[in-house]
Structure 1
Amino acid sequence: MAAGTLYTYPENWRAFKAQIAAQYSGARLKVASNSPAFTFGQTNRTPAFLNNFPLGKVPAYQGDDGFCLFESNAIAHYLSNDALRGATPQVAAQVLQWVSFADSEIIPPASAWVFPTLGIMQFNKQATEQAKEDMKRALAVLNQHLNSRTFLVGERVSLADITVACSMLWVYKQVLEPSFRQPYPNVTRWFVTCVNQPQFKTVLGEVKLCEKMAQFDAKKFAEMQTKKETPPKKEKGGKDAAKSQEKKEKKKEEKKPAPAEEIDDCDAVLAAEPKTKDPYAHLPKSAFVMDEFKRKSQIPPMFTGMFQRLDKLRKTAFASVLLFGTNNDSSISGLWVFRGQDLAFPLSPDWQIDYESYDWRKLDSKSEECKTLVKEYLSWEGDFKHVGKAFNQGKIFK
């Protein structure tokens, strides 16, 4: 039977997976989430910690026998028993299927939707609306699957239920108000069943479902940013000053709740990174407001995978991208407008996503070809001669 220590910070939903699995399997698990055993942002940056866990991320597990693991799914799997993992190859594969489903279909939209309401992330209307649609699709899949099932795999709680329920914890607590979750009764019934199991309740306590969808609070976000950017003050003086500071720290620890910005360890780490240089610092201020232009245009967002990952570029770029051709024989082509005279993507490491998969050509704004292309791409109608005959004869997927 596994026995060891789980390093994390308080209320880390990723760590909950391992803790709940241990409750079911009987694994002996100590949780180090508070000083002096573990202080997030300090302990996980020490050479001793990094020697065992090179990424410095939590949750991290160290067995009493010295065996070390990072990544929450691996830790939860290790602390589970065969009943949770799946006793046969087929059942084990089904469990893994839903664990992967949580990572790919639930966590991305949940983070984009929930984090702004917690003050962790700046609000972006387009990203939030897209996250809601993505969440609806995931909920619809779950609702259909649970139409005739109590649990995701088999007749008992498995690691699939633990993982998916934990990934949806903050969604149900923050944003899934009654009207939004009404079309998915099977999912809510399953979620409530899970979180009310004794093994879940021991770790999570009482889970109250959201009554009103939380919204972005600009003031709260500003306060969070100030906390992240303000360095701690240094006390001057001798022993008396040290004692005074120690008392202050103790009072702070007693009164301070778990900080919202630590709801996800990745975001806490990213928040500590130095600010990147403005790629357009060398250019004069422009009178052309890209956001205003995009709001007035009636072109809906497309190819959202690339676009969402380029969110930091949205104030200085605009694109209309189309998919030409037929199934299994298609081509992507588009028109981009950037600030400045250079291709924007190489200007910042944050923007170097997917762009190398495409060929780029600078257009002459005074040429007839450019005028024709702009008209065609903004209206989504035309000959699109530059695309080529093979794809030109096919359908334009809008």
Structure 2
Amino acid sequence: MAAGTLYTYPENWRAFKAQIAAQYSGARLKVASNAPAFTFGQTNRTPAFLNNFPLGKVPAYQGDDGFCLFESNAIAHYLSNDALRGASPQAAAQVLQWVSFADAEIIPPASAWVFPTLGIMQFNKQATEQAKEEVKKVLSLLNQHLNTRTFLVGERITLADISVACSMLWLYKQVLEPSFVQPYSNVTRWFVTCINQPQFKAVLGEVKLCEKMAQFDAKKFSDLQPKRETAPKKEKAPKESKPQEKKEKKKEEKKAAPAVEEMDECEAALASEPKAKDPFALLPKSAFVMDEFKRKYSNEDTLSVAVPYFWENFDREGYSIWYGEYKFPEELAMTFMSCNLITGMFQRLDKLRKNGFASVILFGGNNDSTISGIWIFRGQDLAFTLSEDWQIDYESYDWRKLDVDSQECKTMVKEYFAWEGEFKHVGKPFNQGKVFK
């Protein structure tokens, strides 16, 4: 029977998966989530921790025998028993299917929708609306699957139920109000059944379901952002009757206020990385403000506002437009896996966002699909070649630089930005799109 310590921060839903699995299997699991045993942002950056867990990410598991694991799904699997993992090869494969489904199909839209309501991500109207539609697809699929089933795999709780329920926890707590989930009664029935199991309650406590859909709170978001240091103001000569010591003490105390705990350890890890040399540093400044275009694209109508703004302000000398098409369409199987392929590429290009934009679309259906998109880069060269960190995925695509003054370019920009049109060069129906911004 497994025995060891799980390092995490408080209320980490990824860690909940391992904790609940241990409740079912009887694994002896100690949880280190508070000082002095573990302080997120400090302990996970020490040489001793990084020696066992090189990425510095949590949750991380260390067995009493010295065996170490990172990645929440692997830890939960290790701490499970055979019943949770799937009693037969077929059941085990189905469990893995749902665990992967949670990562690929639930977590991305759930994060895009929920995080702004928690004040840890800026609100983006288009991203939120897209996330709502993707959540509806997920709920519809689950609702149909659970129409004749109590649990996702077999007749008992498995790691499939644990993983999917944990990935939906914040959705049900923050935004899935009764009117929104009313068409998906099978899903709610299943979710409530799961969270009321003794093993779930031992970890989650009482889960209060959302009664009213939470909204973005600009003030809350502002309050949670780290304050930038500003140049000190010139001090006035101190008045004899009011010594400055107390004021200085208050300022020091204000500066020493603890930072808000990060919800996502990946963000903290990225923030702690040393700043690398900017690959675009030698390029001349451009009058085209990419961030302003992105705001138009995210918050206003695409065809009537964002596309006209793009062409009115686009800098032909400072930026270039590229068409990228996936080279191996015959390898694309299930559409959710293809979408995950796109999402993974976007995540690995995070540091390119300030100087790039893309709208990538999956066309077709299962076992008959293609991926292509329009990319905007600063400079006249293919941006992926400027940094080794950006070269993981780009060789899987054929790239063609477009003539920005051609009708072909204008049509493709319009269609890919708006996710609608004839797409004559594709020959397959629109499935769904994803935006890199």
Q: Normalising to structure 2: TM-score of the pair?
A: 0.69
After superposition, the Cα gap between the structure-2 partners of 1:182 and 1:85, relative to the gap in structure 1 and judged at 3 Å, is: same
Question: Is the CA contact (8 Å cut-off) linking 1:8 and 1:31 kept in structure 2?
Answer: yes
Where do residues 19-168 of structure 1 align in structure 2 (5 Å cutoff)?
19-168=19-168
Which residue identity lines up with residue 19 of structure 1 in the other structure? Answer: Q
Q: Secondary structure at the residue paired with 2:183?
A: coil
Q: Normalising to structure 1: TM-score of the pair?
A: 0.75
Where do residues 1-398 of structure 1 align in structure 2 (5 Å cutoff)?
1-226=1-226, 259=260, 261=262, 263-273=263-273, 282-286=283-287, 290-291=293-294, 294=297, 295=300, 297-298=302-303, 305=342, 338=377, 340-346=379-385, 354-362=393-401, 370-374=405-409, 376-377=411-412, 395=427, 397-398=429-430
Shift of 1:190: 0.6
Question: Is the CA contact (8 Å cut-off) linking 1:165 and 1:191 kept in structure 2?
Answer: yes
* Partner deviation per Cα, 1:2-38 (whole Å, 9 max, x = no partner): 2211111111111111111111122111111111111
Question: Is the CA contact (8 Å cut-off) linking 1:320 and 1:377 kept in structure 2?
Answer: no
For the residues of structure 1 that align with 2:29 and 2:366, how far apart are their CA atoms? 51
After superposition, the Cα gap between the structure-2 partners of 1:223 and 1:356, relative to the gap in structure 1 and judged at 3 Å, is: farther
For the residues of structure 2 that align with 1:81 and 1:333, how far apart are their CA atoms? 42
Mind listing any 5+ residue stretches in structure 2 that lack a counterpart?
230-248, 308-323, 326-338, 416-422, 431-437
For the residues of structure 1 that align with 2:114 and 2:59, how far apart are their CA atoms? 21
After superposition, the Cα gap between the structure-2 partners of 1:394 and 1:122, relative to the gap in structure 1 and judged at 3 Å, is: closer
Shift of 1:210: 1.1
Question: Is the CA contact (8 Å cut-off) linking 1:176 and 1:213 kept in structure 2?
Answer: yes
Question: Is the CA contact (8 Å cut-off) linking 2:57 and 2:265 kept in structure 1?
Answer: yes
For the residues of structure 2 that align with 1:280 and 1:355, how far apart are their CA atoms? 18
Q: Secondary structure at the residue paired with 1:34?
A: coil
For the residues of structure 2 that align with 1:35 and 1:270, how far apart are their CA atoms? 23
Q: Secondary structure at the residue paired with 1:83?
A: helix
For the residues of structure 1 that align with 2:176 and 2:68, how far apart are their CA atoms? 36
Which residue identity lines up with residue 25 of structure 2 in the other structure? Answer: S
Mind listing any 5+ residue stretches in structure 1 that lack a counterpart?
231-243, 381-390
After superposition, the Cα gap between the structure-2 partners of 1:331 and 1:219, relative to the gap in structure 1 and judged at 3 Å, is: same
For the residues of structure 2 that align with 1:332 and 1:320, how far apart are their CA atoms? 11
For the residues of structure 2 that align with 1:349 and 1:218, how far apart are their CA atoms? 37
Shift of 1:223: 2.8
Moved more, 14-23 or 339-348: 339-348
For the residues of structure 2 that align with 1:337 and 1:95, how far apart are their CA atoms? 40
For the residues of structure 2 that align with 1:147 and 1:114, how far apart are their CA atoms? 27
After superposition, the Cα gap between the structure-2 partners of 1:50 and 1:354, relative to the gap in structure 1 and judged at 3 Å, is: closer
| Number of residue equivalences | 363
Shift of 1:183: 1.4
Shift of 1:53: 1.6
Q: Secondary structure at the residue paired with 1:115?
A: helix
**Alpha carbon RMSD of aligned pairs, Å?**
4.1
Q: Secondary structure at the residue paired with 1:55?
A: coil
After superposition, the Cα gap between the structure-2 partners of 1:285 and 1:396, relative to the gap in structure 1 and judged at 3 Å, is: same
Percent identity at matched positions? 74
* Partner deviation per Cα, 1:116-169 (whole Å, 9 max, x = no partner): 222222222222222222221111111111111111112221111111111111
For the residues of structure 2 that align with 1:40 and 1:154, how far apart are their CA atoms? 38
After superposition, the Cα gap between the structure-2 partners of 1:285 and 1:327, relative to the gap in structure 1 and judged at 3 Å, is: same
Which residue identity lines up with residue 286 of structure 1 in the other structure? Answer: A
For the residues of structure 2 that align with 1:163 and 1:324, how far apart are their CA atoms? 29
